[in-house]
Structure 1
Amino acid sequence: MPVPTDPRTPRQRIADQLAAARRQLVDTHLSRAQRAEVADRIYDLQEQARRIGA
Structure 2
Amino acid sequence: MPVPTDLRSPRQRIADQLAAANRQLIQQTLSRPQRRAVADRIHDLTEQARRLDA
Q: TM-score, normalization: structure 2?
A: 0.91
**Aligned AA (1:37):** A
- The offset of 1:38, in angstroms, is 0.1
Task: Determine the structure 1 residue equivalent to 2:7.
Answer: 7
The root-mean-square deviation of aligned C-alpha atoms, in Å, is 1.6
Q: TM-score, normalization: structure 1?
A: 0.91
Task: Determine the structure 2 residue equivalent to 1:52.
Answer: 52
Q: Deviation above 4 Å: which 4+ runs of structure 1?
A: none
- The offset of 1:4, in angstroms, is 5.4
Q: Percent identity?
A: 74
In structure 2, the gaps of 5 or more residues are: none
> How many pairs align?
53
Task: Determine the structure 1 residue equivalent to 2:27.
Answer: 27
